[in-house]
Amino acid sequence: MNYTILKFKEIIKLNVEKNVISLSGGKDSTALLLHALEKETENIVPVFADTGNEHKQTYDYLEYLERILNIKIIRVKAVFNQQIAKKREYIKHFWIQEDISQQIIEDALSVLKPTGVPFLDLYLTDEHR
């Protein structure tokens, strides 16, 4: 299950101190999680940031960790729909004023759509600059 940042804030209740462990599914972050669990660290919140560019084995491994460790890993995923919509509006309204051909505008708008993959959608916005 994917959570937005608002849902993430609701889940971890930011007014209570938490020990957030950024979990990639790799050996280092897994070792850190296991060490924290072994030391009985309180208020552990494992978080996985889904780039949308992960191997299926990564997702499978996270599910495996949840199952064998009896924990819940929070999954967060960036969504760039608003930024892409804003860029589409800019193209529709301002490119025509800059004497860009209608065909080029239509071509740009035809491909400027959210893919649902944050790794790709970031590059459809101006956020990566």
Please calculate the CA angle 40-42-44 and round it to the nearest 5 degrees: 100
- Which amino acid appears at position 41 of this protein? T
**Residue 4: band (very low, low, confident or very high) from pLDDT cuts 50, 70, 90:** low
Dihedral sign, CA of 90, 91, 93, 97?
positive
Per the structure, the count of domains in the chain is: 2
The answer on 10 and 71 residing in a single domain is: yes
Strand order in the sheet with 74-77: 19-22, 44-50, 74-77
The answer on 104 and 49 residing in a single domain is: no
pLDDT in tens, 6-35: 566 666 566 678 899 999 999 999 999 999
Average pLDDT in the 39-58 region?
93
Residue at 129 is within a domain: no
Give 31-39 contacts, CB < 8 A, sequence gap 24+.
33/65, 33/69, 37/69, 37/71
Q: Which domain holds residue 101?
A: 81-124
